[in-house]
């Protein structure tokens, strides 16, 4: 039994970040990851992070209509 081990025998590291979906005003969606503590404040605390992700190229340019934590 492997119990989540990969085939090479190493344990997989659990992803500690949460997934956030950015919905644009034209209907597009894009995903990015943030720390759980950053996602606790809801959309208001995520918007500055989304803008920073746009500036760094992690998210596409455009007007973000909404942000939502996926998991």
Q: What pLDDT is attached to residue 4? A: 59
pTM (2 decimals)? 0.74
- Whether 32 and 69 have beta carbons less than 8 Å apart is answered as no
Q: What pLDDT is attached to residue 19? A: 92
Q: What pLDDT is attached to residue 15? A: 75
How would you write the pLDDT of the chain (71 residues) with one tens digit per residue? 455 566 666 777 777 899 999 999 999 999 999 998 888 888 888 999 999 999 999 999 999 999 999 86
Rg (CA), the chain: 15
d(CA 43, CA 49): 10
Q: What pLDDT is attached to residue 34? A: 93
């Amino acid at each position: 039994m492997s119990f989540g081990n990969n085939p090479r025998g190493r344990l997989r590291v659990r992803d500690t970040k949460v997934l956030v979906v950015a919905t644009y005003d034209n209907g597009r969606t894009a995903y990015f990851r943030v720390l759980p503590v950053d996602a606790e404040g809801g959309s208001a605390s995520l918007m500055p992070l989304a803008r920073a992700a746009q500036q760094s190229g992690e998210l596409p340019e455009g007007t973000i209509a909404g942000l939502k934590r996926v998991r």
